[in-house]
Structure 1
Amino acid sequence: MNTTAARKGRERTCNQCGAVYRSIRNTSRFCSSPCRKRAGRGSAPVGGPKAGPECWGVIAKALHRAGYVGRVGPVSRRDTSAPTYALLVDPETAHAELVHQFDRRGWGLVSREEFSAALKADGIHGFNTRSPETLELNRFRARQRGRMARAD
């Protein structure tokens, strides 16, 4: 006799935040009421804390494990905006590493177009040293250095 409870519903992906959830209804499109309301207001789908690395495709996950994709925002703990992920190295280096990983595992060739499309689909920003997140990080670090200097 099977003593484990059967899982109800089927796995679906939220149209707003990208989270994977279980739903009994065949017509559900959102994981929660806040996501449903955001979509109803017409706000663009965003990756939230639920739509982080665990919801990415194979290409983005491989780059994240290799350390070429990382979280770049928000900078402050007080900031409650959604996490922002970006390439931490230039795209040519990341693509070369990805080709090497896929070749080593026998998964085939990854074209530059497929690479770019996968990053865009997962909401990963390109490598940019002048991004708004980088500028905010530099301002934050300058404020922290000023506070430390005044404290001494």
Structure 2
Amino acid sequence: MLTIKIANKFVKNFHNKINNIFSFAMLMVMTSYSFHAHANVENISVEKNTRYEVVFDAGSSKTRAYLYQIDKNTIKITPLFDVEKKLPLEKVNNIKTEIINPMLREIATFLLQEHKIKPDEVVVNILGTAGMRKVTGSHQKEIYTRAKEAVSDNNFNR
């Protein structure tokens, strides 16, 4: 019985560590391959050594947005804020007004009030996970186009 408890605890701890490593790796990949010009990254932060990024996760059951502060010297990634809507992007007719705009407004309010950061100093990345794999390529393209428009409409950097 003790062996099983220890094994279960080991598996659970190992799973949590793998999830943290995976999350870190995904964030690093997304910050490297987001749909913004890499030349602009140096100019978007109030503090030269700090940048802010939003990651949208277009999931199958809901859409989430995470705001991170990234120290470029230490590569320390600090989660600052998150918001979610119980709607997946793929099932919403007008994703700009029903999902992305309200989420970006919440993030913009938090940034301005808590960190004195304007939206145009923040890079937004949109990651299509399980929800995006369920739709056709043309529907994916339409979703990403509307999402990019919403990012620009809300004065965030893309």
TM-score normalised to structure 2 length: 0.28
Structure number with greater Rg is 1
TM-score, L = length of structure 1: 0.29
